[in-house]
């Protein structure tokens, strides 16, 4: 994966994929001073590109590492990297971090803020589960309180428990893990938001301690366009049994049906299919 042909955008210019390295004393590697975006291009155009660039800047600002690139500069850099990849449908990863420098301790303001963009092909995030319904394990870790960590930043540090929980889920034969939050409410999966359907209405956790995904907001728009009621609220895990359908949303996950959470099963129903199809259509408009 490292030693291959291709281009990566690094700090302002395209370089060879295999040369896109950083120093071992990179601050981000030691202290998680890193933020990123996951985006998808469809037909040569990045869906909601500007929103992703704005979120990258907002995440970096929350980590006290203001980016030396504007939204327009990031937009141009992503377009240039996508064009260089020759791909029409692709995953786009932008990442910004504190590099190596004079600061070797926790404080890092003297070290440069760096940025890279890479583009590669990435099919269905949950593989076959995309149509059959993913199985989710309940994570043992909880999404933290907004008083603990900047929960709305897409920051590397918030993904440590995601990786651990996803490993544990996969070891049990599940596709992903579902987190509760620090209060015990249903929160999100390790890289996607969650929706439930009951009696023709939709319920989704209120994003007050986790990422309010761009796909989540897009899907809420698709539902409201169809006059379907969407309740953004606190959901207790005991309520799962009463829900009939369930799906995940995320840039990588798109709209993926969920077939099972713990012991409770869901049907891949008409509304799930309709919204998945509507999303697939919208991203190519
Ligand atoms: N939650 C987490 C933890 C994520 O990593 C993602 C993917 N970025 C999402 C939710 C969904 O966000 P989006 O729809 O903006 O991709």
Residue 114 belongs to domain with CATH number: 3.30.470.10
Q: What is the CATH number of the domain that holds 159?
A: 3.20.10.10
Residue 139 falls inside a structural domain: yes
pLDDT score of 1: 80
Which residue CA neighbors atom 4 of ligand 1 most closely? 191
Q: Which residues are catalytic?
A: 154
- Is this prediction's ipTM beyond 0.95? yes
C-alpha distances out from residue 23 to 10, 27, 208, Å: 14, 9, 36
pLDDT-based confidence at residue 195 (cuts at 50, 70, 90): very high
Give the tens place of pLDDT for each residue, 208-239. 999 999 999 999 999 999 999 999 999 999 99
- Please give the number of the atom of ligand 1 that sits closest to the Cα of 250: 14
Give the tens place of pLDDT for each residue, 12-42. 999 999 999 999 999 999 999 999 999 999 9
Note whether 32 and 137 are same-domain residues: no
Give the residue from 73, 90, 120 where a domain finishes: 120
Residue 2 falls inside a structural domain: no
pLDDT score of 129: 67
Give the tens place of pLDDT for each residue, 113-126. 999 999 999 887 78
Q: Which residue has the higher pLDDT, 72 or 103?
A: 72
- Please give the number of the atom of ligand 1 that sits closest to the Cα of 37: 8
Residue 141 falls inside a structural domain: yes
Note whether 106 and 134 are same-domain residues: no
Q: What angle do CA 8, 96, 211 make, to 5 degrees?
A: 115
Range of the domain at 214: 129-282
Ligand 1 site-directed mutation target among 53, 213, 216, 282, most atoms within 8 Å of CB: 213
C-alpha distances out from residue 170 to 173, 176, 259, Å: 5, 7, 15
In whole angstroms, what is the distance from residue 153 CA to residue 62 CA?
7
Token pair, residue 6, equals 């291709």
Verdict on whether the full-model pTM lies above 0.90: yes
Token pair, residue 13, equals 């210019």
């Amino acid at each position: 994966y490292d030693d291959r042909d291709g281009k990566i955008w690094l700090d302002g210019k395209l370089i060879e994929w295999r040369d896109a390295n950083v120093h071992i004393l990179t601050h981000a590697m030691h202290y998680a001073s890193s933020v990123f975006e996951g985006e998808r291009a469809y037909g040569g155009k990045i869906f909601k590109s500007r929103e992703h660039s704005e979120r990258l800047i907002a995440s970096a600002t929350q980590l006290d590492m203001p980016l030396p690139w504007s939204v327009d500069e990031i937009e141009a850099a992503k377009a240039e990297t996508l064009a260089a990849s020759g791909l029409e449908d692709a995953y786009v990863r932008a990442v910004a971090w504190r590099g190596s420098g004079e600061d070797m301790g926790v404080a890092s303001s003297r070290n440069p803020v760096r940025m890279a963009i890479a583009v590669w092909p990435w099919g269905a995030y949950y593989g076959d589960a995309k149509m059959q319904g993913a199985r989710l394990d309940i994570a043992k870790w909880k999404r933290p309180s907004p008083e603990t960590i900047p929960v709305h930043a897409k920051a590397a540090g918030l993904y440590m428990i995601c990786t651990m929980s996803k490993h544990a889920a996969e070891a049990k034969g599940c596709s992903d893990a579902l987190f509760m939050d620090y209060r015990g409410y249903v929160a999100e999966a390790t890289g996607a938001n969650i929706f439930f359907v009951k009696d023709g209405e939709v319920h989704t956790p209120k994003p007050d301690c986790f990422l309010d995904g761009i796909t989540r907001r897009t899907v809420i728009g698709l539902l409201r366009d169809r006059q379907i009621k969407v309740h953004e609220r606190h959901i207790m895990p005991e309520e799962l049994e009463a829900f009939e359908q369930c799906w995940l949303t995320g840039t990588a996950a798109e709209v993926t049906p969920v077939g099972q959470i713990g012991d409770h099963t869901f049907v891949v129903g008409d509304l799930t299919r309709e919204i998945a199809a509507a999303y697939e259509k919208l991203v190519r408009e």
